[in-house]
Amino acid sequence: MRTIKSISKDGKRFELSGNVALLYVGNKRYKFLIHCYGTTEKFLTHFASGKKLGSLTPIIYENFKSNYTFIKERELSKLLIEKLINKHGVERVQVAIDSAQAIN
């Protein structure tokens, strides 16, 4: 379990705690934090910047409805990254991550 800093949209700083995952976006490897927000929502956040990539919760429900099984957080994170790449393209996702200001 690791703790990082993040910044809200209105500029307030806060801390997030969760599990670290090293994952590839295209051919580049990044460090992410998989964490809970509240009691039911899980998110994937870029470790260095504290920028949220997205919620893992819809992917959990989609997978459970189709397979009736739960998959590991790391695999959920890979699926989220894959969805972002399919929607925006690998270069755009990498640029978004690389351009975020590092605070951790």
Q: Under the phi-then-psi rule, with left for phi > 0, alpha for psi from -120 to 50, and beta for the rest, what region is 4?
A: beta
- The answer for residues whose C-beta is within 8 angstroms of residue 57's C-beta and 6 or more apart is 40, 41, 42
Lookup result for tokens 């925006």: 88
Q: What is the pLDDT of residue 71?
A: 86
Put simply, whether the predicted model's pTM sits higher than 0.85 gets the answer yes
Summarised one tens digit per residue, pLDDT across range 15-73 is: 999 999 999 999 999 999 999 988 889 999 999 999 999 999 999 888 877 777 778 99
